Amino acid sequence: MAILDILIYPDPRLHEVAAPVDTVDDNIRKLVDDMAETMYAAPGIGLAAAQVNERKRIIVVDISESKDSLKIFINPQIISAEGSEESEEGCLSVPDIYAPVSRAEKIRVRALDRNGDSFELDADGLLAVCIQHEIDHLDGKVFVDYLSRLKQDRIRKKLSKFQRQSA
Ligand code: GNR
Ligand code: NI
């Protein structure tokens, strides 16, 4: 297991579209395990492969307090969605920035598990928000993209400064 480096906005690699996984093999399972370790270490409630510079459609999520409910989604697809709700979001790739984003309230997701078997899951609340946030990463989208240009410019400036200071 290994903790991977997380790309920080505005990194152009966060805006690339990820490719589907064609076979869930040991290499993919190793990446999943490293992503989970990286998410827990951060700490975060979700992580998409795009954030660790892997252009594959893989996400890990654990919204539990006890950090013992890891959910793995390979090639996730939202097959139905209803309602809409706004909530405050953050992102490990956009440190210390929080802003309201509107998402579907309830979703049904289809994905492959770590054995390559297909499953479906109904999600609402924070889990639904997190899954939609992660699938956006696979499509090269970051929550900042939903904000006004003015807010995007402010965030870009703030994080560029932050990166210069930590360099
Ligand atoms: O850790 C995270 N918290 C969070 C809070 C509200 C909405 C979405 C998230 S996902 C984020 C981890 C992350 O950046 N995943 O891509
Ligand atoms: Ni994120």
Report yes or no: 91 and 133 within 8 Å, Cβ to Cβ.
yes
Pocket probe for ligand 1: among 35, 91, 103, the residue whose CB has the most ligand atoms within 8 Å is 91
In this prediction, residues 106-111 reach a mean pLDDT of 99
What CA–CA distances, in Å, run from 100 to 46, 87, 145? 17, 5, 12
pTM over 0.95: yes
Whether residue 164 has pLDDT greater than 80: no
Largest Cα span, the chain: 45
Mean pLDDT across the chain: 96
The reply to whether 88 belongs to the active site is no
Read off the pLDDT of residues 150-162 as tens digits, 9 standing for 90 and up.
Answer: 999 999 999 987 6
Q: How sure is the predictor about 14, in pLDDT bands with cuts at 50, 70 and 90? A: very high
What confidence score (pLDDT) does residue 166 get?
60
133 in ligand 1 pocket by Cβ < 6 Å? yes
Q: 137 C-alpha to center of ligand 2: Å? A: 7
Radius of gyration of the chain (CA): 15
Report yes or no: 60 and 127 within 8 Å, Cβ to Cβ.
no
What confidence score (pLDDT) does residue 86 get?
98
